[in-house]
Chains A and B, each alone.
Chain A
């Protein structure tokens, strides 16, 4: 069995095992073991990748090609480069952390964990696909369980949120499908057969008119998932209603599919379209960066704050991708990773705070540093990471993005860049606002003095997420080199 297909097979086996579990204890144990195996596989993949990369310089490694649907030339075609390896690692860590955070999922635990694992299967599959069609299928596999996860295990206005999220993401899929089919039907422009294979299509000169038409469709299709302004409104409501682990997986991993898809599909296959349209999407992205930050400033619900912070930070991902150079792209991938860990950590912490105080309204909370010090201190650290403090992953990512953006020497790019950079000030304000109101100050509610301390599984979940944030932040060179090397073939496509 090849090393990559395992990422689809192991989750399926976990699901099978989960079917036979009887209660929460068994379900979470199976999920945890499954998560640990996946993490082990991801780490193993990383080292295998380093070994293989040393002797093999093709774009994708560990490739495997199985014909799936011959008539339309659809293949189960998989392979990875440094970018997908790093994102697979991100996914495996967040899945495991999510299991620990859901340790006390009393309600329908078996079904919950099954849905969670289905979701992660889709994500893994998406990251290893080289075939557009397979990729799309995995994308749908990842999106659909969201409806159940929010609709059944959610809170608040959950039916509405689940419906809204699913409909908007389905709308995105529809747009994306048109984009992908557009690419497919132009993949014979140089005389070959129609194909979904990304690497083959990249060699084809798709006519400029087609690129201009299908780039925005593909871009928007993916960008909706990446919460690009103004298509982000599913995300605050969706996150607010979703259970903790789902928010973590969704914001931490699923939203990364957007940026990754833009990079792998829209940019790589339609570079001329990207050049043509970049100005328009740069405006949207830069607006999203500053807009999300200001919107976060006014929210009082912790999850809404984090959702808008995500709009701001993921705006930077699309912004960086549109800068069309290696430095900024490296920043975009790093930002995807960094935001994945940070936002998952935030949702985990918010879940813990909510679980104890039964509110997410910061105006009702206060002085938490005194009563739940561990969670509060980590919250401060996560906040510092979010506002781009050196020593944490966000700083590394943002500096790459901004430095890359500065390589574009024209007034339009300069202004957009400075607008985006100014978000670092607003981010500091909204982070410190929460820290000041919720964590510091006198304890607002007498009942809070009796809050339960942090349990071992919560600490494990937190540390799983915190370690990569600090690790990337302190020693970024190896991961940056891993990504940078893989960017070379992609940047060549754009520069031609």
Chain B
């Protein structure tokens, strides 16, 4: 396969970023928008071409998809250990190229309408390009260090985009929070990388995932505190992934990240960057699976399942529509992690892996659609809050229909995309453990419920008294909605089990009819419940919130996790570590240096009195000195 095209895919957004970034004050907004879109369109076409080439023309040898790598040394650590830069083409990286390109292009198109008239228009497109470049680099990475490098770059573009409205205090705080929380997670990631580098002497995915490679062959010989050191490394790497993918308890930055412009939320905090953690685990899946009988993978399963449940519960009580979607994202990411956790490696055993990637793909489409739809609504009513909305279906027909399609998809209603991928996840969970399956199916019900609470709340119910009659968004915004809606309808029919599998050999996937029926029923029940509560104006929801008073308070305050973190950061680290250190430095360390200085002055003041000018003093000193020296010499020479 020719990989030159693949190198071009990230190179184009990088070039666009540099041009727009350096000349941001000289370029007219109209031109920067067109440059951004055009550049990305080329990358997207190249991505599609690569996908077509790979999946249907050149990728397969003897029924198995091959891995193509092209790389060069970036820096040497030792004779054998080095960081490479390059591209790696295999089923999941190609799939991610398609996801990133598609969503990013839609967001670029949409932003031309959404951001119109904003004073930082060019800057916005520059950041979007930077992000897209970093994300491409991340998915194409050939080794752990390269993925870390782009991981950080993705993090900084996320920081810049969340803090896009940089005069707004809440946006600054959110941007800082996102960066610092993920940085903390990356601290774990980095140590994990170093451990792997030390024990296996390589960072390459190919070697690490190789059953005959250094990681999988030698993990048993590297014991540390009851576990293999490689397992520790995997857990630490997963912490990094959990930070980016907003897994419990590192999720706190994601809801706040909604301070960024809505297209950003759609691109970064729903469809692409946040799946980086899932992608990382999938990338190292053979290692996760084979080292220490998948101990680290079990952690992935439980963290994923718990996050899915935790976030779904919180999503029910949120009133900011973007935050509902943020928690929904977290919940669905938990689903993907969980699916990876319960997966096996070969043939149909690996259905969880396939399902996870499948869900990643479909989720990207319908969640981007939901966010862009929410953006369209926010654009119309100038508020993020449910209480300022209602009855919008009359004013915004396109947004209404596309949002409904996405909501049905996430609720798992056939034949929309979400149904197919979610069904596979539940099959995988069922094969592995009843308990995990139980959580999965319960979360599916909650998802349908909170999503339709949102849908009915926005588009049905009574009209709020709008100051200005809301109107449908311009075509630049609705066209991406329609395209994404079409993808949401059709994406489920992609034969993922033949394209993207753990062992890269396709298998036949069947719909498990009883399980599918249960899932659909639960989803419909959730929708029905939401219908009863929220379709028409009534006080049912209010009565429930009163009846479950304390539980309601806990969930609507996100179980007070923000407060806990704030306490640790502010009261413990800032007040009780940094402040005492600063004081210690001033008083003790500097104080003792000052002390030495001052003592010198004091002593010299005393000594200077010896220079009194009185002959008798000198004579006394002189004779005293002679006596002392005489004694000393006698002592020395008498020995």
Q: Is B514 an interface residue (CB 8 A)?
A: no
Q: How far is the CB of B231 from chain A (nearest CB, A)?
A: 16
A39 to B482, CA, bound (A): 59
Q: A387-B183, A484-B76 are in contact. List 17 more A-B contacts (CB 8 A).
A: A167-B597, A168-B593, A291-B585, A298-B574, A298-B582, A390-B150, A390-B152, A404-B77, A421-B190, A428-B179, A429-B180, A432-B180, A436-B172, A436-B175, A441-B172, A480-B75, A481-B76
Contact flag A298-B579 (CB < 8 Å), given A406-B197, A428-B183: yes
Please determine whether A233 and B169 come into contact, CB atoms closer than 8 angstroms: no
Contact flag A432-B176 (CB < 8 Å), given A294-B581, A440-B163: yes
**With a CB–CB cut-off of 8 A, which chain A residues contact B152?**
389-390, 395
Q: How far is the CB of B160 from chain A (nearest CB, A)?
A: 9
Please determine whether A477 and B167 come into contact, CB atoms closer than 8 angstroms: no
Please determine whether A298 and B578 come into contact, CB atoms closer than 8 angstroms: yes
For this complex, 10 residue pairs linking A to B, each with C-beta atoms less than 8 Å apart, are: A291-B581, A291-B585, A395-B149, A399-B145, A403-B77, A422-B187, A424-B183, A436-B175, A439-B166, A440-B163
Q: Is A442 an interface residue (CB 8 A)?
A: yes
**With a CB–CB cut-off of 8 A, which chain B residues contact A195?**
none
Per-residue interface assignment for chain B, residues 604 to 635, with 1 indicating a CB less than 8 Å from any chain A CB and 0 otherwise:
00000000000000000000000000000000
A373 to B119, CA, bound (A): 14
Q: Is B554 an interface residue (CB 8 A)?
A: no
B589 contact from A233, A390, A406, Cβ within 8 A: A233
A439 to B75, CA, bound (A): 34
Interface residues of A (CB under 8 A from B): 164, 167-168, 229-234, 291, 294-295, 297-299, 326-327, 367, 369-370, 373, 384, 387, 389-391, 395-396, 399-400, 402-404, 406-407, 409, 418, 421-422, 424-425, 428-429, 432-433, 436, 439-442, 476-477, 480-481, 484
Please determine whether B76 and A403 come into contact, CB atoms closer than 8 angstroms: no
Q: Is B550 an interface residue (CB 8 A)?
A: no
**With a CB–CB cut-off of 8 A, which chain B residues contact A418?**
191
**With a CB–CB cut-off of 8 A, which chain A residues contact B73?**
477
A231 to B578, CA, bound (A): 19
A406 to B582, CA, bound (A): 30
Q: Is B153 an interface residue (CB 8 A)?
A: yes
Q: Is B590 an interface residue (CB 8 A)?
A: yes
Q: Which 3 A-B pairs have the closest CB atoms?
A: A298-B582, A390-B149, A233-B590
Q: How far is the CB of B260 from chain A (nearest CB, A)?
A: 14
**With a CB–CB cut-off of 8 A, which chain A residues contact B589?**
229-230, 232-233
**With a CB–CB cut-off of 8 A, which chain A residues contact B578?**
294-295, 297-298
A432 contact from B179, B191, B581, Cβ within 8 A: B179
**With a CB–CB cut-off of 8 A, which chain B residues contact A476?**
74-75
Please determine whether B582 and A299 come into contact, CB atoms closer than 8 angstroms: yes
Please determine whether A396 and B75 come into contact, CB atoms closer than 8 angstroms: yes
Q: How far is the CB of A437 from chain B (nearest CB, A)?
A: 9
Please determine whether B167 and A440 come into contact, CB atoms closer than 8 angstroms: yes
Q: How far is the CB of B601 from chain A (nearest CB, A)?
A: 11
**With a CB–CB cut-off of 8 A, which chain A residues contact B582?**
294-295, 297-299
Contact flag A421-B577 (CB < 8 Å), given A369-B166, A402-B194, A440-B172: no
**With a CB–CB cut-off of 8 A, which chain B residues contact A481?**
76
Please determine whether A295 and B581 come into contact, CB atoms closer than 8 angstroms: yes
Q: Of residues 548 to 586 in B, which have CB atoms within 8 Å of A's CB atoms?
A: 574, 577-579, 581-582, 585
Q: How far is the CB of A441 from chain B (nearest CB, A)?
A: 6
Smallest CB gap from A417: residue in B: B194
A233 contact from B156, B173, B574, B593, Cβ within 8 A: B593
Q: Is B198 an interface residue (CB 8 A)?
A: yes
A158 to B69, CA, bound (A): 59
B597 contact from A164, A387, A396, Cβ within 8 A: A164
Q: Is B78 an interface residue (CB 8 A)?
A: yes
Per-residue interface assignment for chain B, residues 66 to 105, with 1 indicating a CB less than 8 Å from any chain A CB and 0 otherwise:
0000000111111001010000000000000000000000
Contact flag A425-B194 (CB < 8 Å), given A294-B581, A327-B78: no
Please determine whether B198 and A407 come into contact, CB atoms closer than 8 angstroms: yes
Q: Is B184 an interface residue (CB 8 A)?
A: yes
Please determine whether A477 and B74 come into contact, CB atoms closer than 8 angstroms: yes
Contact flag A403-B197 (CB < 8 Å), given A298-B578, A429-B180, A477-B73: yes
A229 to B592, CA, bound (A): 13
Q: How far is the CB of B236 from chain A (nearest CB, A)?
A: 11
A402 to B81, CA, bound (A): 13
**With a CB–CB cut-off of 8 A, which chain B residues contact A432?**
176, 179-180
**With a CB–CB cut-off of 8 A, which chain A residues contact B195?**
406
**With a CB–CB cut-off of 8 A, which chain B residues contact A439?**
166
Q: How far is the CB of B323 from chain A (nearest CB, A)?
A: 22
**With a CB–CB cut-off of 8 A, which chain B residues contact A234?**
593
Please determine whether B180 and A425 come into contact, CB atoms closer than 8 angstroms: yes
Contact flag A406-B153 (CB < 8 Å), given A298-B582, A440-B163, A481-B76: no
A425 contact from B148, B149, B183, B597, Cβ within 8 A: B183
**With a CB–CB cut-off of 8 A, which chain A residues contact B167?**
367, 370, 440-442
Please determine whether B593 and A406 come into contact, CB atoms closer than 8 angstroms: no
Smallest CB gap from B78: residue in A: A327
**With a CB–CB cut-off of 8 A, which chain A residues contact B180?**
425, 428-429, 432
**With a CB–CB cut-off of 8 A, which chain A residues contact B184?**
425
A409 contact from B76, B176, B198, Cβ within 8 A: B198
A400 to B175, CA, bound (A): 29
**With a CB–CB cut-off of 8 A, which chain B residues contact A477?**
73-76
A233 to B76, CA, bound (A): 36
A17 to B180, CA, bound (A): 52
Q: How far is the CB of B615 from chain A (nearest CB, A)?
A: 34
A384 contact from B25, B74, B81, B156, Cβ within 8 A: B156
**With a CB–CB cut-off of 8 A, which chain B residues contact A326?**
78
Smallest CB gap from B137: residue in A: A390
**With a CB–CB cut-off of 8 A, which chain A residues contact B590?**
233
Smallest CB gap from B190: residue in A: A421
**With a CB–CB cut-off of 8 A, which chain B residues contact A387?**
183
Contact flag A441-B166 (CB < 8 Å), given A400-B77, A425-B184: yes
B153 contact from A164, A389, A409, Cβ within 8 A: A389
Q: How far is the CB of B171 from chain A (nearest CB, A)?
A: 8
**With a CB–CB cut-off of 8 A, which chain A residues contact B179?**
428, 432
Q: How far is the CB of B583 from chain A (nearest CB, A)?
A: 8
Q: How far is the CB of B195 from chain A (nearest CB, A)?
A: 8
**With a CB–CB cut-off of 8 A, which chain A residues contact B197?**
403, 406
**With a CB–CB cut-off of 8 A, which chain B residues contact A369?**
166
A327 to B175, CA, bound (A): 34
Please determine whether B585 and A295 come into contact, CB atoms closer than 8 angstroms: yes
Smallest CB gap from B197: residue in A: A403
Q: How far is the CB of B591 from chain A (nearest CB, A)?
A: 9
Smallest CB gap from A390: residue in B: B149
Q: How far is the CB of B189 from chain A (nearest CB, A)?
A: 11
Q: How far is the CB of A488 from chain B (nearest CB, A)?
A: 12
Q: How far is the CB of A159 from chain B (nearest CB, A)?
A: 13
Q: How far is the CB of A153 from chain B (nearest CB, A)?
A: 23
Smallest CB gap from B581: residue in A: A294
